[in-house]
Amino acid sequence: MKFRPCIDLHQGKVKQIVGETLQEDHNLVVENFVSEYTPSYYAERFKQDGLTGGHVIMLGAGNEGAAEEALQAYPGGLQIGGGIKADNAAGWLEHGASHVIVTSYVFQDGQLRMDHLDQIVSEIGREKLVIDLSCKQKDGSWYVVTNQWRTFSDFELNQDNIRMLEQYCDEFLVHAVDVEGKRTGILEPLVTKLAEWVTIPTTYAGGARSLEDLARFRELAGGKMDITVGSALDLFGGSLSYKEVLSYCR
């Protein structure tokens, strides 16, 4: 189990927000933390600590410059997501991203767009693609959500669908939207199911707040998945020691 760092960008700044509150009216977004440090500060920190496979997420427009700054500080060490499409994916790889992360481009208008998935794979290759399966629970199952996590798609997370998508990408990133940014603990039923279903590198994000949560995640995932910790980290205004997380995951 690796610790995967994150740099979430909103209005050009490094922030931690409650994911479900993300919307175009910035005044209604619930912010857990707004950093006084630059994106490159965090990227350089993660580089110094030898962390790989972390993600930079652009939460809305106006974050391109901040994202480029982070990628240039740690070329080849970070993935990039937020507004990625077939026509700009290669450009982000040229800016230094190791992978691009897609959600809304592939899951559009509530449905999986295989034509878009084929197009982006043809542009950059599956080995450079991460599919973000950010999901919420409905009727006892988990479904991918898009449009700033407000719109349910008809794509259910299950073994058959996961195995199908694995043919098109190098990794999965899964935000458990129901607990994202809330520091209420990991979503154990989802972690358990993902561990059963996935056979490629997969990073889980959402709710982790303590070393006990990390231990429980490791137990449930059986070492098959990696984890991201955001709002709970002292790097982002929380009480969980970043250094202790690094030590534990190593």
C-beta separation of 19 from 66 below 8 A: no
Which residues are 107's β-sheet partners? 112
Please provide the average confidence, as pLDDT, over all residues in the chain.
93
User: Would the pLDDT of 18 be above 60?
Assistant: no
User: Would the pLDDT of 21 be above 70?
Assistant: no
First to last CA, the chain: 8
Least confident of 19-28, 52-61, 156-165, 166-175: 19-28
Instruction: List, in sequence order, the alpha helices (H) in 51-88.
Output: 64-73
d(Cα 158, Cα 147) in Å, to the nearest integer? 21
pLDDT digits (tens, 9 = 90+) for 103-116: 999 999 889 999 99
C-beta separation of 176 from 19 below 8 A: no
Mean pLDDT calculated for residue range 222-248: 94
pLDDT digits (tens, 9 = 90+) for 164-191: 999 999 999 999 998 877 788 999 999 9
Mean pLDDT calculated for residue range 220-248: 94
> Residue 217: which pLDDT band, with cuts at 50, 70 and 90?
very high
10 is written with which tokens?
């909103």
- Give the H/E segment covering residue 46: helix 39-48
d(Cα 226, Cα 217) in Å, to the nearest integer? 9
Predicted local confidence at residue 221, as pLDDT: 97
pLDDT digits (tens, 9 = 90+) for 27-40: 555 566 888 999 99
Predicted local confidence at residue 164, as pLDDT: 98
d(Cα 1, Cα 235) in Å, to the nearest integer? 20
User: Would the pLDDT of 222 be above 60?
Assistant: yes
pTM (two decimals): 0.93
> Residue 2: which pLDDT band, with cuts at 50, 70 and 90?
very high
142 is written with which tokens?
């988990």
C-beta separation of 210 from 233 below 8 A: no
Helix 39-48 × helix 64-73 angle, to 10°:
20
Q: Spell out the SS3 assignment of 111-148.
A: EECHHHHHHHHHHHCHHHEEEECCEEEECCEEEEEECC
Q: How many CA atoms lie within 13 A of 21 on its CB side?
A: 13
Closest by alpha carbon to 132, among 98, 94, 100? 100
Contacts of 192 (CB under 8 A, 6+ apart): 220
C-beta separation of 106 from 117 below 8 A: yes
Percent of the chain's residues with pLDDT above 90: 81
d(Cα 177, Cα 137) in Å, to the nearest integer? 9
Contacts of 107 (CB under 8 A, 6+ apart): 113, 144, 146, 153, 155
pLDDT digits (tens, 9 = 90+) for 122-159: 999 999 999 999 999 999 999 999 887 888 999 999 99
Contacts of 228 (CB under 8 A, 6+ apart): 3, 4, 5, 6, 54, 55, 203, 204, 205, 208
Predicted local confidence at residue 206, as pLDDT: 93
